[in-house]
A and B are shown apart, each in its own frame.
Chain A
Amino acid sequence: MANNTTHTTEYRVLARVLLVLMFLTFLTISVTSYHLAAFGVTVALLIAGTKGFLVLTYFMHLKYESLLLRILVSMVFVLYAVIILITFIDYAYR
């Protein structure tokens, strides 16, 4: 049956993910309030990245999707990283 391939994420898993996401939100607010300058934005982006990863993995259930889809999604982020890199190289050396 085709239904066997679709995965049902349990309520408690989703609730746990939400708790972690809320904790990370709290963490990012308290960390940035310490005025760590350049260090602050790195930490904020790392935390946002972790939160984004959790949303993609559990809420958007990529964890249970086909390898093809997971590779496609990863490629979008790789592409975006390359675009950022090229733009900043352009700005740094013009």
Chain B
Amino acid sequence: MTEKATHIEAHADDEAKKLGMWLFIFTELLLFGGLFLVYSVFRAKYPANFHEGSLELSVTIGAINTIVLLVSSMTIAMSLTAIQKNNRKLAMTLISVTLFLATVFLFNKVFEWGAKFEHGLYPGSKLMPMLERGDLLYFSLYFFMTGLHALHIIVGMVLLTICLFKVKSGNVNSKKYIHLENGALYWHLVDLIWIFLFPLLYLIT
């Protein structure tokens, strides 16, 4: 087989890998989409409870986490630019910065959830069933949606750590970077979901 033919094959394979990643992202979008649907129906039904519930959340922590995720989304996008420009060291630094920001996000989340737990507000607590129906729905959705999102942050961190080692070993390089590209796509998805979670859970007027 000629060299040209193998090169085209390898390229076609990368395109398929990227398309596969996008198909997976579609399922993730519809997974959270389903939750947003449940949220909007109950919010339309219990607007006052949802408003009161949102007042219990700290807009400051939510805003800080929004900024943290937006910056981390930029750094991982930049790491792809760096590897395309064959700057391995910068790419590794940028992935590490992204991982650090992800840790900051989770730390804030633990702090935020911890404050709720202290007030006896957590799924399965004695307090939860005593709440009004609208409040119960708001906090159940809050814990489930932010919890599922936090799980995605953890999965993203695992994927990006694998990418970091692949860049280090030279498995991901300026000619072959589909793994980092797909890892970055996953991370952007996590950011994309938070962009909608933040105003809907924290900023209810």
- Residues of A in contact with B (beta carbons under 8 Å apart): 1-3, 6, 8-11, 14-15, 17-18, 21-22, 25, 28-29, 32, 34-37, 40-41, 44-45, 47-48, 51-52, 55-56, 58-61, 69, 72-73, 76, 79-80, 83-84, 87-88, 91
- Taking a contact as CB atoms under 8 Å apart, the answer to whether B74 and A44 are in contact is no
* Residues on the B chain within 8 Å of A56, using CB: 188, 192
- Taking a contact as CB atoms under 8 Å apart, the answer to whether B7 and A2 are in contact is yes
9-residue interface stretch from B33-41, B125-133, B143-151, B156-164: B33-41
Known: A14-B78, A84-B37. A48 touches B70 (CB 8 A): no
- Taking a contact as CB atoms under 8 Å apart, the answer to whether B22 and A59 are in contact is no
Which of A29, A41, A59 makes the CB contact (< 8 A) with B188? A59
- Taking a contact as CB atoms under 8 Å apart, the answer to whether B196 and A8 are in contact is no
- Taking a contact as CB atoms under 8 Å apart, the answer to whether A59 and B77 are in contact is yes
- Taking a contact as CB atoms under 8 Å apart, the answer to whether B185 and A60 are in contact is yes
- Residues of B in contact with A (beta carbons under 8 Å apart): 7-8, 10-11, 18-19, 22, 26, 29-30, 33, 37, 40-41, 44, 59, 63, 66-67, 70-71, 73-74, 77-78, 80-81, 84-85, 175, 184-185, 188, 191-192, 195-196, 198-200, 203-205
Known: A6-B84, A28-B203. A83 touches B33 (CB 8 A): yes
- Taking a contact as CB atoms under 8 Å apart, the answer to whether B85 and A36 are in contact is no
Chain A residue nearest in CB terms to B191: A55
A91 to B195, CA, bound (A): 27
Which of B71, B84, B188 makes the CB contact (< 8 A) with A8? B84
- Taking a contact as CB atoms under 8 Å apart, the answer to whether A52 and B195 are in contact is yes
- Taking a contact as CB atoms under 8 Å apart, the answer to whether B66 and A25 are in contact is yes
A47 to B198, CA, bound (A): 12
- Taking a contact as CB atoms under 8 Å apart, the answer to whether B29 and A48 are in contact is no
A10 to B81, CA, bound (A): 7
A10 to B73, CA, bound (A): 15
* Residues on the B chain within 8 Å of A79, using CB: 30
Name the distance in Å between B134's Cβ and chain A's nearest Cβ. 16
- Taking a contact as CB atoms under 8 Å apart, the answer to whether B199 and A28 are in contact is yes
Known: A2-B11, A22-B67, A28-B203. A14 touches B77 (CB 8 A): yes
- Taking a contact as CB atoms under 8 Å apart, the answer to whether A84 and B192 are in contact is no
A15 to B103, CA, bound (A): 22
- Taking a contact as CB atoms under 8 Å apart, the answer to whether A47 and B41 are in contact is no
